[in-house]
Copies of this chain bind each other. A is one copy, B any other.
């Protein structure tokens, strides 16, 4: 392999999925992983297998079904963690175990409540244990940038001695600055000669807005793996945004000279998929994937750009796949045209799933003149979420006015197929629908967050509703798509309820009570 090439390690499904309110099920995680493979990332960190049975199951499904990238599972230094990570990823063609332990005194003293010697011993034992399973072992000294570099170097040396082939340096709390990080990594190379035999990786958080710059400083200092996430998701202010790192390496390739293997044309679609499934909106002024990142997309064509594109554009929107909106179907399009359009988008839909998708497509085409690729993406993602048995929307009626409390009636199909009805009077019209759903299903969920976005522009745009609900101390999110936002809201709410109920049945612990050490990672 080209010694200058930078490996792209995507942690959307691990660090990204740790963001508050995100709760992807195994089907959704698999769908994202498949898109990450199409995007051409080198490594997918698929999850933290010991953290919950659901996470284990999702990592295993990804390891079994996603081809191309290395599939990686995260583990603390405990043998049980490493065993779980291995069992989850072992069926991949290219499995990796990623183990970590804090090396900063602040973490060792206050959180781990142990000693440096113990940390050194745990790191050594963990890597040795993981190496019994696979040659591909990554080790991270957590909170490295706030660690005494001499001690972190000692731990890294031990990890390399035991056979770690990737050493990842996390800026866990987003504290470092580019020149400081460069200095830290330089010292590490000096203190650990064996670093030249392994791959240096960096993992930066964006608390001070420097995640991409610090990652890039890492590359210039010798890193050949960058850990990042789609849309910059992750703990707090998130990780370095994959799309920004990749487009920096791409756009400034002549000056930088560190290529990566990502197919940039899949960036826009990956961003939309992740935003839709996580319910995390991308702000309009977000670099690369924001609605305005390419201003001429927004209808403001400027004199300069018209005269000569490069006067104000350093990237072409087509490079990130923003032109891929050429598919247009209408109400006369048939099942075959729909199937073909979906295949162009990378979705293989057959049998009953195709029938359901076609029915929804027809409903929408009746109300909306042109059904575009972005509409189809939204629809398929919507239907994807319906595969799991759950509460399903059938019909609603609302009367609302500014003069008296709104009245809502809903018809719902229970998970066993039985139709039920409910009604409610009061609050706003959308809220009345949610409470009518509670009345119909007998489930006492409450709304925590609510958001509506339009999928495309214009009067007849599809509305996409995202909700976060709370049920018995568990929170769950759901999304729904329809031209009518009340219907979209009802679908979103029912999805969230289905997820919350399924989790309760699986016995997952409420998020508030999850072991902190489990949830907090590099």
Within 8 A of B (CB), among A240-296: 240-241, 244-245, 247-248, 251-252, 255-256, 280-288, 290, 292-295
Complex interface: chain B residues within 8 A of A463 (CB): 428, 450
A208 to B283, CA, bound (A): 15
A422 in the interface, Cβ–Cβ < 8 Å? no
Binds B, one of A44-52, A78-86, A173-181, A377-385: A173-181
A97 to B173, CA, bound (A): 41
Contact of A283 among B173, B283, B294, B304 (CB under 8 A): B283
Binds B, one of A154-162, A350-358, A441-449: A441-449
Q: Is the Cβ of A111 less than 8 Å from the Cβ of B396?
A: no
Within 8 A of B (CB), among A209-249: 209-214, 216-217, 220, 231-238, 240-241, 244-245, 247-248
A107 to B302, CA, bound (A): 13
Copies held by the complex? 2
Interface membership of chain A positions 451-466, coded 1 if the CB is closer than 8 angstroms to chain B and 0 otherwise: 1111001111101000
Q: Is the Cβ of B446 less than 8 Å from the Cβ of A209?
A: no
A332 in the interface, Cβ–Cβ < 8 Å? no
Contacts A314-B174, A400-B484 given; indicate if A237 touches B290 (C-beta within 8 A).
yes
Q: Is the Cβ of A248 less than 8 Å from the Cβ of B396?
A: no
Complex interface: chain B residues within 8 A of A117 (CB): none
A106 in the interface, Cβ–Cβ < 8 Å? yes
Complex interface: chain B residues within 8 A of A280 (CB): 283-285
A311 in the interface, Cβ–Cβ < 8 Å? yes
A483 in the interface, Cβ–Cβ < 8 Å? yes
Q: Is the Cβ of B173 less than 8 Å from the Cβ of A312?
A: yes
Q: Is the Cβ of A180 less than 8 Å from the Cβ of B311?
A: no
Interface membership of chain A positions 510-522, coded 1 if the CB is closer than 8 angstroms to chain B and 0 otherwise: 0110011101100
Q: Is the Cβ of A306 less than 8 Å from the Cβ of B406?
A: no
A300 in the interface, Cβ–Cβ < 8 Å? yes
Q: Is the Cβ of B458 less than 8 Å from the Cβ of A448?
A: yes
A471 in the interface, Cβ–Cβ < 8 Å? no
Complex interface: chain B residues within 8 A of A285 (CB): 19, 206, 231-234, 236-238, 280
Q: Is the Cβ of B483 less than 8 Å from the Cβ of A428?
A: yes
A301 in the interface, Cβ–Cβ < 8 Å? yes
Q: Is the Cβ of B452 less than 8 Å from the Cβ of A450?
A: yes
CB distance from A8 to the nearest CB of B (A): 15
Complex interface: chain B residues within 8 A of A406 (CB): 484
Top 9 A-B residue pairs of the complex, sorted by shortest distance between their CB atoms: A303-B516, A213-B213, A209-B244, A110-B308, A20-B298, A238-B285, A428-B484, A397-B401, A209-B212
Q: Given A20-B298, A110-B310, A450-B454, output 10 extra A-B contacts at Cβ < 8 Å.
A: A173-B313, A213-B213, A236-B293, A237-B285, A280-B285, A396-B402, A397-B400, A397-B403, A398-B400, A428-B463
Supply 8 A–B pairs (Cβ within 8 Å), ascending by A: A110-B304, A172-B312, A173-B313, A177-B248, A179-B220, A208-B247, A232-B285, A367-B427
